[in-house]
Amino acid sequence: ATNYYLNADPSLVAPSRDATLVPFQMAGEFKEATVNIEPIIEFIADANEEPGFTVYIVGEASSAFENNELSEKEIQQGEIFGIPTALLILLALFGAVVAAVVPLILAAISIVIALAATAIVGQIIPLVFFVTLMITMIGLAVGIDYALIVVSRFREELAKGRSKSRAIEITGSTANRTVFFSGMTVVLALLGMLIIPTNIFQSLGIGAILVVISAVCATLTLLPAVLSILGDKINFMRLPLVGRNLNKTNEGGDKRGFWDRTTQLVMRHPIISLFLAGGLMLGSAAPVVDLNTGFNGLDSLPKDLQVRQAFDLIEREFPGGFGSVAPVDIVIEGDLSDKSIANAIQDFMETISLNSIFAGTPSVQTNSDQDLAVITTFFAGAPASDPAVKIIDLLRNDYIPNSFGNVDANVYVTGQSAFNKDFFNTVDTYTIWVFAFVLGLSFLLLTVAFRSIVIPIKSIFLNLLSVGAAYGLLVLIFIHGYGADLLGFETSPSIEAWIPLFLFSVLFGLSMDYHVFLISRIRERFDLTNDNAESVAYGLRSTAGLITGAALIMVAVFSGFASGDLIGNQQVGFGLAIAIFLDATIVRSILVPSTMKLLGKWNWYLPPWLEWLPKVSVENSEIATEAKVN
């Protein structure tokens, strides 16, 4: 560490003479630094109890530490909002306290198992700090939903007068199969994130996959044991007036209910319905043309955080702003005793010294073996800004080739801005592969499940429409600022770079989950009646209770996490919540029935050369038919 009183470096003192910098470096790797910084933060807190001055700390390690602390608080905040709201929805669906509490307990167990598994994985590969928040958010959503499907089917079978063991058997052959198929659909979609060779996506992908697998395993193994113990007590502590209609879900639904009337209205006017609903979704997606991805810097953090206050102070008091303390390092690997390399280093340092976009005087350090040199320079601007990324391009594409193009040395650019630039390039390179993987896998899965090539194409298009609408609304609110104050969100010039692909993978899995459940009911009815319109109406009304309840729970959970202070959490929570809401309402209630009405029997078209495909069923059709008949 150094300071102005040691070396009288004028760049360490603000022109106002009201602030000074004390730069120092943490030893060890970044992960160690984020742990070792804590006693320094505590020391500074003690120092600030003295009158006459205030000490702030800011840097990569301290920022990561405070982000970790804030992330933990936001997990609690999301749980405080999401869990009670989910409980209220479950109480409204089931009308019994015990039945409503069981899915919450299963979700909590799934999260704990996934966190433990992730901790083990974290000993092998480094994971980003906010993976725990994503595990909690997704675990609550899918854990509750999967248990909801099983508990509702078990209660339905008990209501028909079946014995406890027979009810569990039928539930296992129907609802459990649905949960397994749905969970594997989500996992396959999430696998796309593992294609991208970055720590962020692999951390999020691993965490999300582990919590979905944990939720599926807990639902298929632990939940049947719990139901066996509870038996009729699953309906203990019944509430008046609520939860009386959910048992109609698998019995064909209410033919005079809201969903049946809505479906019939849509199918009487399919073209108008398709035009209006499709126009609304396309209109919501339109702002996506202004989508700009990046990393939101320290200026996006809450103003009460010490690192944000330090950032604001440096931006205000020091020439060049925060860039003046966020270095760009140029690493030269080669024989430093070679005069041509020494001349190239000198030429490079003179070049950047003459450019006003760089702040201060560049410095150079060499190792004892004289085969490695590091040039450290600074620039005017925040490291997460667009100008900072352009500076990296300038160094790599212009300055370095000009100075080192004719010498025998390897030259690299590193630092936070260089990391951002490389991350953006990696995401751009692999986006097409992730889309191709997820879309291709979805097409194959749906083709086999429904023995049709029309249903997969239509389903993929509708899911893309939901994702596109979520992207568009993210841009509208977070970049353009419409409604941001009303919703309590921070605006930003960009959407976090990892969010679009993360949303795509998660939303495609969750949307396909609902779609498979709905279309499987329509297909089974069509096979029995050969009546397309009646089959669509039957499918919607027979799945309405479960899908609507499950979607509302997901929206509640995701909204809880969107209510935090970290802008990345706001963006991902809102994106997930609004996409699930649109998918469960406009897509399922209007676009699905209108398109299926217009396509008629073409919905189930399978080319003759694909007739060899196996006939599969999400639920055990024989057991399901027996359950309905009996």
- Which range in 25-34, 289-298, 463-472 is most confidently predicted, on average pLDDT? 463-472
Q: What is the pTM of this model?
A: 0.84
Tally of CB atoms within 10 A around 418? 21
Residue 375 · residue 363 · CB < 8 Å: yes
Estimate to the nearest angstrom the gap between the alpha carbon of 7 and the chain centroid. Answer: 47
| Strand-pair partners of 328 | 377
Three-state secondary-structure class, residue 444? helix
The reply to whether 508 and 557 lie within a common domain is: yes
Cα 354 off chain centre by: 43
DSSP 38-103: HHHHHHHHHHTTSTT------SHHHHHHHHHHHHHHHHHHHHHHHHHHHHHHHHHHH-BHHHHHHH
Residue 621 has pLDDT above 60, yes or no: no
Over residues 332-340, the mean pLDDT reads: 89
SS3 state at 408 = coil
Residue where one domain finishes, among candidates 387, 414, 441 = 414
Residue 302 buriedness (CB in 10 A; 0-12 / 13-18 / 19+)? middle
**Gap between the Cα atoms of 467 and 461, Å rounded:** 10
pLDDT digit string (tens) for 436-445?
A: 999 998 888 8
Residues 289 and 382 placed together within one structural domain of the fold: no
The closest alpha carbon to 324, from 313, 333, 334, belongs to: 313
Selection from 242, 411, 256 nearest residue 341 by Cα: 411
DSSP single-letter state for residue 451:
T
Asked if the structure places residue 316 within a domain, the reply is no
Statement to judge: residues 268 and 386 lie in one domain: no
What is residue 417's DSSP assignment?
H
Query: What proportions of the chain, in percent to the nearest 5, are helix, strand and coil?
Result: 70, 5, 25
387 lies in the same domain as 441: no
- Clarify whether residues 522 and 593 are in a common domain: yes
**pLDDT band at residue 566, thresholds of 50, 70 and 90?**
confident
The pLDDT score that the predictor gives to residue 447 is 87
Amino acid symbol at 201: F
Is the confidence at residue 214, as pLDDT, over 90? Answer: yes
The last residue of one of the domains, among 366, 396, 414, is 414
Indicate whether 109 and 156 sit together in one domain: yes
Residue 510 and residue 547: Cα distance in Å, rounded?
11
Across all residues in the chain, what is the average pLDDT? 83
Q: What is the phi/psi pair of residue 68, to 5°?
A: -60, -45
Q: What is the pLDDT of residues 30-70, one digit of tens each?
A: 777 877 888 888 888 888 888 888 888 887 788 778 877 77
| Two tokens, residue 369 | 């073996």
| Cα–Cα distance measured from residue 385 to residue 441, given in angstroms and rounded to the nearest whole number | 36
120: in domain? yes
Q: Which domain holds residue 51?
A: 4-55
Distances (CA, A) of 238 to 103, 193, 545: 16, 43, 18
In a domain, 315, yes or no: no
Measured in degrees and rounded to the nearest 5, phi and psi for residue 243 equal 75, 20
**In whole angstroms, what is the distance from residue 316 CA to residue 367 CA?**
36
CATH code of the domain in which 353 resides:
3.30.70.100
Spatial distance between the Cα atoms of 245 and 101, rounded to a whole number of angstroms: 19
Structure tokens at 527: 């096979």
Would residue 613 count as lying in a domain?
yes
100 and 45 inside one domain: no
β-bridge partners, 379 = 358
The pLDDT of 548-572, averaged and rounded, is 86
Is position 310 within any domain? no
Please report whether residue 307 resides in a domain.
no
CATH number of the domain at 187, please.
1.20.1640.10
In a domain, 312, yes or no: no
The count of domains in the chain is: 3
Domain boundary among 373, 397, 414: 414
The band of 321, judged by pLDDT with boundaries at 50, 70 and 90, is low
Predicted confidence band at 9 (pLDDT cuts at 50, 70, 90)? confident
Spatial CB neighbours of 103, under 8 Å, sequence gap ≥ 6: 90, 143, 144, 145, 147, 148, 151
